[in-house]
Structure 1
Amino acid sequence: MNLRWNWSISIYAGTDPRHLTPAADTPTPVLSRADVTDVPASFVADPFMLRTQRRDDGGDAWHMFFEVWNDDTEQGEIGYASSGDGRAW
């Protein structure tokens, strides 16, 4: 797929949804097509995250689901990444 844009995923923070800026102390982007290792990816997009509590130590566990464009199948597929802090994936 020949894209005009190089889509990636970043983390934003703010006091409310209308006042967001890139999250401090977080690399931008946090996830790009280069981070996808199991399929040849053109882009990542459309993330949603879920925070859960780890069973082993009670700390937070973050789960991110996102779209990956697979160049082999020429389809969008669901990707998954996990994080202990919601910033490093």
Structure 2
Amino acid sequence: MIAITGGTGHSGSFLVDILHKNNFQDKIRFLIRDNSNTTRIDEYGLDCEKCNISLTDVDALSKAFYGVDTVLHIAGIQFSPYIVDAAVRWGDAE
């Protein structure tokens, strides 16, 4: 499974388009905000789940990475330290 941050944003929408056009088959976990517009994700019918989460909550992020082998971090660079910390924690726990 892959996890994607920023999949509902401007840059992330291009990634979602590519996944759809290339008939991506793996499960996707989108890490989204409560107010994210998920219309594109919903319309494409990708095999996915949406996880409402704060990208600054390292504990919640670490839990959201359960079962994930790849993280595509497309959200703002200001969230990178949190994403990396959570991924390291998840990797250490596994």
Over alpha carbons, which structure has the higher Rg? 1
TM-score scaled to structure 1, two decimals? 0.22
Higher RCO (CA < 8 A, seq sep 6+): 2
